[in-house]
A and B are shown apart, each in its own frame.
Chain A
Amino acid sequence: RKEVEQDPGPFNVPEGATVAFNCTYSNSASQSFFWYRQDCRKEPKLLMSVYSSGNEDGRFTAQLNRASQYISLLIRDSKLSDSATYLCVVNYLAGDTGRRALTFGSGTRLQVQP
């Protein structure tokens, strides 16, 4: 089982639609959570961190459910420029070294259509 699982999509939605992605993680010791965005053939970039109380940044809302071990991302009023792959990222303590390491999901592809 992958440590971070996402529906690969693609999610095809019209402009203006609301779309939601979920992500589940298997390591209950996970410490912190993020959504990254990756455009085609480009590097990932941080979209937003995900805090226990949930947080919002403009059209984007992220939620964390520690009990069920999932994270969600809601995008309202989708724009053409939102078309990208969204990576769910979890930070956990890595083995004997006690060092933290990010684990990336394989991503959910979003295509917003005119």
Chain B
Amino acid sequence: NAGVTQTPKFQVLKTGQSMTLQCAQDMNHNSMYWYRQDPGMGLRLIYYSASEGTTDKGEVPNGYNVSRLNKREFSLRLESAAPSQTSVYFCASSETSRDGYYEQYFGPGTRLTVT
């Protein structure tokens, strides 16, 4: 049981290049999320998917697209990378909750640098 896995762990891109960050979970969770974490800013939600086939924008979606490929996989794509997208990206998953109390399980993160 690997939990949440992310690839790659590290990536350096030049401005304007594109790439896809991959995320997979093996806990049969309905909900999946992409966050970015910058120093002093906390984690900010980019996109989330409440269930297979649905995606919604979070707090900072500009410059990103997502695909919920199936229940296990949720990918994040940068079409034209910019230096402002230099960050640590975390994928997470969780069960659906009725009362608002649920645990999010995070992957190990992808450290992305855009030069």
Residues of A within 8 A of B (CB): 2, 4, 8, 31-32, 42-46, 49, 87, 91, 97, 99-102, 104-107
Q: Confirm or deny: B69 has a beta carbon within 8 angstroms of a beta carbon on chain A.
A: no
Assess the B100–A91 pair: CB atoms within 8 A.
Answer: yes
The number of inter-chain residue pairs (CB within 8 angstroms) is: 48
Assess the B48–A44 pair: CB atoms within 8 A.
Answer: no
- Known A4-B42, A99-B56, A104-B42: A46·B100 in contact at CB below 8 Å: no
Assess the A43–B90 pair: CB atoms within 8 A.
Answer: yes
Q: A49 to B40, alpha carbons, bound, how many Å?
A: 23
Assess the B40–A101 pair: CB atoms within 8 A.
Answer: no
Assess the B42–A101 pair: CB atoms within 8 A.
Answer: no
Q: A4 to B108, alpha carbons, bound, how many Å?
A: 24
Assess the B106–A44 pair: CB atoms within 8 A.
Answer: yes
A8: chain B residues at CB < 8 Å are 40
- Known A105-B42, A106-B40, A106-B41: A32·B101 in contact at CB below 8 Å: yes
Residue of A nearest to B88 (CB): A41
Q: A42 to B4, alpha carbons, bound, how many Å?
A: 13
Assess the B45–A102 pair: CB atoms within 8 A.
Answer: yes
A31: chain B residues at CB < 8 Å are 99-100
Assess the B106–A100 pair: CB atoms within 8 A.
Answer: no
A102: chain B residues at CB < 8 Å are 45, 104
Assess the B50–A99 pair: CB atoms within 8 A.
Answer: yes
Assess the B101–A107 pair: CB atoms within 8 A.
Answer: no
Residue of B nearest to A4 (CB): B42
